[in-house]
Amino acid sequence: MRDQQDTSAEGQNLRPPAERQGPSGRHRVFTSSVVFPESSDYSDAEVLPDSFPSAPAEPLPEFLLEPEDAFIVKNRPVQLRCRASPATQIYFKCNGEWVNQNDHITRESLDQITGLVVREVEISVSRTQVEELFGLEDYWCQCVAWSSAGTTKSNRAYVRIAYLRKNFEQEPLGREVRLEQEVLLQCRPPEGMPAAEVDWLKNEDAIDPSQDSNFLITIDHDLIIKQARLSDTANYTCVARNVVAKRRSSTATLIVYVSGGWSSWTEWSECNAQCGRGWQRRTRSCTNPAPLNGGAFCEGPPFQRVTCTTLCPVDGGWTEWAKWSACGTECTHWRSRECQAPPPRNGGKHCSGSMMESKNCTEGLCARSLAPDTGVAVYAGLVGALLLCVILVLCVGVLAYRRRCRHLHGDITDSSSALTAAFHPGNYKPSRQDNPNPLHPSAPPDLTATAGTFRGPLFSLQQGANDSPHKIPMTTSPLLDPLPSLKIKVYNSSTLSSLELPADVRSDGEILSLNSVGTVGRERDYYSHTLSREPGLSTSATLGNLGGRLTIPNTGVSLLVPPGTIPQGKFYEMYLIINKWDKMTLPSEGSQTVLSPVVSCGPSGMLLNRPVVLTLPHCAQLDTPTPDWTLTLKTQTHQGAWEEVLTVGEETLSSPCYLQLEEECCHVLMEQLGTYGLVGQSCPPQPACKRLQLALFAPRAPCLSLDYSLRIYCIHDTPHALKDVLDLERSLGGVLLEDPKPLLFKDSYHNLRLSIHDIPHTHWRSKLLAKYQEIPFYHIWSGSQRPLHCTFSLERSSLAVSQLTCKICVRQVEGEGQIFQLHTDIQETLPPHSPLPSGGSCPPSSQVGPYAFRLPDSIRQKICASLDVPSARGCDWRLLARSLGFDRYLNYFATKPSPTGVLLDLWEACHQADADLVSLATALEDMGKSEVLVVMTTDGDC
């Protein structure tokens, strides 16, 4: 910006200023006909002329060239120039004082177009002037030009001393990273004036991000390699430069390694023993990929060997010759032998030679020497043999017929005789007497009784005098037919009386235990290995027709068995188990992620009259305006493979389940018990988010060592996952420092980065060399790992140091993050901190009968009777489903005998933690069902 003075400021017809000594002794100040008081600046003291001209003789000066900012490099002075037209005089003014006239170099010319005088002035500014006169202040100079019309000032030009320090504030550090990992190389250049520009060299070649998009140089001069390639293994140097000098950082060597991977197994080799016991082997190689640049070699053996047995070939051998036959009409007799001593086996050679041998039996004499009645005797013998064969066939037929009749009459065994006579003729082993209460829910019965193998239809055994109408042909059940070796536990009347059952079913009830329903053959073996009942991860109860609820405390997992689900008169020992990660395969594949615990409920294969409701907590973030998830319910087969049951939003009439989705859990209506899990996948174009929890643990005080460690777990935001980590840390002697923090983890292929900051270095030091730690993206996203955590190892200077203050930052690269503000006394013993509810507030693990349901059975029946019948106005169960938010796929409920009853079952599962019926009453009130509300008010607790 140019400051212009009024035409009266300097007056007209100015004479060149006279020289006089300035106060500094170095520069001289000039005066003209305009008076400058010594106590003020030129711009501050002006004396107006006595009169003003009627019109300016020429215009105000205009600067054609203004002085520019400059840097003094080393001791070389800088030149400042300015040019103005028209100008009778031009002088420099530096930091408020006039520069001596003799220090100016003036050039004058004439503009050929305008005819005005063009004057150019140049001065030299040295390092000494800038340093001694003005110290650390900015040194500036400005041109002032005169004409007959007045004065004009130029812009200020600043003169600074240029420098560049030698030491970098931060230099890049060498690293070893795996293939396709993101790499950050940091560089902070030395302090300088002007600020240094930074370049990166890769093996002494400049890196240009515009030519290679895999490189990115940030505004802070850091180098980011988005995905490390093998070609990125090199020496990297940070170069800082300005007008003074160029500085090079120390070289950082980056090594991109590849960890080895096993190839597929080869086929098994032939057994090395041609006869007898030997072995065969198969191999694999660590070439998929091969380890490079110091990458880890494959873990595990490169070969496997198993024993094998090759059957030895046995050559056949002849038996002894049989006796000679009678002499025939041909005057010969025969004898034979067989290749059975031993018979040829396993590729052995057959006997060589003839099986039969003949020779003359009359020593040369033939038929003429025989008696004339010999032919008649031969024929008589043949007829007798034929009659004997016919008699034998008839006897065998009669015996077979009688045997078959006895078998048909002995198929059905009466229950009373079986219970008193030990299932004659089968082999029945009675219950052991050392367990006085084998059916108590807290002590599962000992299933040691085995029934005999019956060849006819198999009937369930029930007690009672008139029990023939109640016999159920169990061979029609898919549980028992056609699998062999059926094992059944049967209880007599004394056993049943010890169980607290309803009075109307104690005498003739049938109880099928967990180990007796469907546990046959290899299916029993499979579940004996996979379904382990660990404390806190399982529950069981004996349920009948009145139903009940199974709940695993502090996990959010429950199973609701509505009334009428189990047939009248039958009781099942039902179970609910959360499977451990390390004891089974998980349902995720590809880019899918596990969102819920994998839960087994059973007995699998039991027949249900109506759907049960399985409640699973999940960690999918669902509060987005657009659907980000494709959610799928999967089940595990008996062979261990996972199959899709349904995909939310894609249900059809053939879908066997219905899934009600809420923000933190889902409820599955199903009619087949088994093993289930919820998985999800991002739905383009938006990436989905999982809800995680970050839990910070430390060793339990007091700490008697100089070493101290902090562990941060990254787990699913479900009660079960937090309970699992708390149990694990309790066994390791760790204590939770504060409530877990939530974190949204995005499906963006970026890792989770953890770093520690603000450690008081006077008393503590970190034993980690890296600036941060990372948990790979896929380990978190798949959900198939054990609880993931990072450890920060610290060391204090002495045992007297007890206070620790620091910050721990956890964030997804290019995502959200959390910060733990830690201030703790490691010697102070703190009570164990648990975010889970205390034992007194936990719901019971099992509730049997009406106590398990909020809605009384009488009210339920009246609501079903009122809403099951379709209404032309639509005020039926369909409106109830919409009011309760269960109308995503109404066809599922329409296929049930009582749609309203299934809706109420789902409502019970969704509101198991509620203590009132407000939501249901509100829905009925909105529907105008006042008669039902009256029933709820009188019979229920609304």
Spatial separation of the C-alpha atoms in residues 151 and 90, rounded to whole Å:
9
Residue-range domains of the chain with CATH? 62-161 (2.60.40.10), 163-257 (2.60.40.10), 261-310 (2.20.100.10), 535-686 (2.60.220.30), 689-825 (2.60.40.2660), 853-941 (1.10.533.10)
DSSP state of 771: S
Give the pLDDT confidence of 91-129 residue by residue, as tens digits.
998 888 888 888 889 888 888 777 788 889 999 988 888
pLDDT interval class at 639 (50, 70, 90) = confident
Give the pLDDT confidence of 640-690 residue by residue, as tens digits.
889 999 999 888 888 899 999 999 999 999 999 999 999 998 887 778 899
H helical segments located in 336-373: none
Length of the chain (residues): 942
What backbone torsions phi and psi does residue 867 show, to the nearest 5 degrees? -115, -15
Contacts (Cβ under 8 Å, ≥6 apart) of 263: 284, 285, 286, 287, 288
Spatial separation of the C-alpha atoms in residues 369 and 379, rounded to whole Å:
19
Q: How far is CA 878 from CA 886, 918, 933, in A?
A: 9, 19, 18
Spatial separation of the C-alpha atoms in residues 203 and 176, rounded to whole Å:
17
Give the pLDDT confidence of 147-156 residue by residue, as tens digits.
888 899 999 9
Q: How far is CA 743 from CA 546, 714, 721, 775, 779, in A?
A: 43, 9, 15, 14, 16
For 341, other C-beta atoms within 10 Å of its C-beta total 12
pLDDT at 509: 40
Spatial separation of the C-alpha atoms in residues 374 and 285, rounded to whole Å:
84
Is 0.85 topped by the overall pTM?
no
Spatial separation of the C-alpha atoms in residues 874 and 479, rounded to whole Å:
41
The verdict on whether omega for the bond into residue 37 sits within 30 degrees of 0, i.e. cis, is no
DSSP state of 801: -
Supply 14's token pair: 């100015």
Give the pLDDT confidence of 318-369 residue by residue, as tens digits.
998 888 888 877 788 888 898 988 888 888 888 988 888 888 887 766 654 4
Q: Which amino acid is at 846?
A: S
Spatial separation of the C-alpha atoms in residues 427 and 438, rounded to whole Å:
21
Find the range with the poorest average confidence among 370-379, 414-423, 534-543, 738-747.
Answer: 414-423
Residue whose C-alpha is closest to residue 254's, from 344, 175, 362: 175
State the angle between helix axes of 899-910 and 857-867 in degrees (0 to 180), rounded to the nearest 10.
130
Contacts (Cβ under 8 Å, ≥6 apart) of 434: none
Distance of CA 432 to the CA centre of its chain: 47
Residue whose C-alpha is closest to residue 42's, from 67, 22, 62, 71: 22
H helical segments located in 32-161: 127-128, 134
Spatial separation of the C-alpha atoms in residues 587 and 633, rounded to whole Å:
9
What backbone torsions phi and psi does residue 729 show, to the nearest 5 degrees? -70, -30
Supply 716's token pair: 């699913």
pLDDT at 916: 64
Supply 705's token pair: 């060592």
Supply 193's token pair: 């004036």
Find the range with the poorest average confidence among 13-17, 306-310, 879-883.
Answer: 13-17
Q: What integer is the mean pLDDT of 815-828?
A: 84
897-902: long-range contacts, CB 8 A cutoff, minimum separation 24: 898/864, 898/868, 899/868, 900/863, 900/864, 900/867, 900/868, 901/562, 901/610, 901/860, 901/864, 901/868, 902/610, 902/611, 902/669
Supply 106's token pair: 């003036």
